[in-house]
């Protein structure tokens, strides 16, 4: 007859797997949420002072890498959103337009 080994109720200080202290555990998978659909993007052109355009391009070039990773589109979109928010606070939200915008300078 083989002698029985005493059952050990004492846990190891390293846990079940000694490599757990070196490799972080993967987080529990969250419930699968559908990503928000991307907004439809549209292209439009403007004319602006050449000095302003060059300064914007220089700044975007300077901040195009980490940590900002700035793009010209991102820069302009953020500026448009800030200005729109400012104008909405001052004058209230705009009503949907009933026709096309007037082109060119008003006479």
Domain count, the chain: 1
What is the C-alpha separation between 87 and 34, in angstroms, rounded?
Answer: 33
Q: Round to whole Å and give the CA distance between 38 and 34.
A: 12
Residue 77 lies in a domain: yes
- Residue 71 in any domain: the answer is yes
pLDDT of residue 106: 74
Domain-located, residue 68: yes
Residue-wise pLDDT for 34-91, tens only, equals 777 888 889 989 999 999 999 999 999 999 999 899 999 999 999 999 999 999 999 9
Structural domain span for residue 61: 48-93
DSSP string, 72-84: HHHHHHHHHHHHH
Question: Whole-prediction pTM value?
Answer: 0.59
Q: Which of 70, 99, 81 is nearest to 39 (CA)?
A: 81
């Amino acid at each position: 007859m083989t002698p029985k080994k005493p059952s050990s109720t004492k846990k190891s200080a390293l846990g079940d797997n000694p490599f757990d202290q070196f490799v972080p555990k993967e987080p529990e998978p969250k419930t699968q949420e559908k990503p928000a659909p991307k907004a439809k993007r549209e292209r439009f052109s403007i004319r602006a002072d050449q000095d302003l355009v060059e300064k914007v391009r220089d700044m975007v070039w300077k901040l195009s890498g980490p940590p900002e990773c700035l793009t010209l589109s991102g820069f302009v979109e953020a500026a448009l959103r800030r200005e729109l928010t400012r104008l909405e606070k001052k004058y209230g939200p705009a009503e949907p337009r009933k026709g096309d915008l007037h082109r060119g300078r008003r006479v």
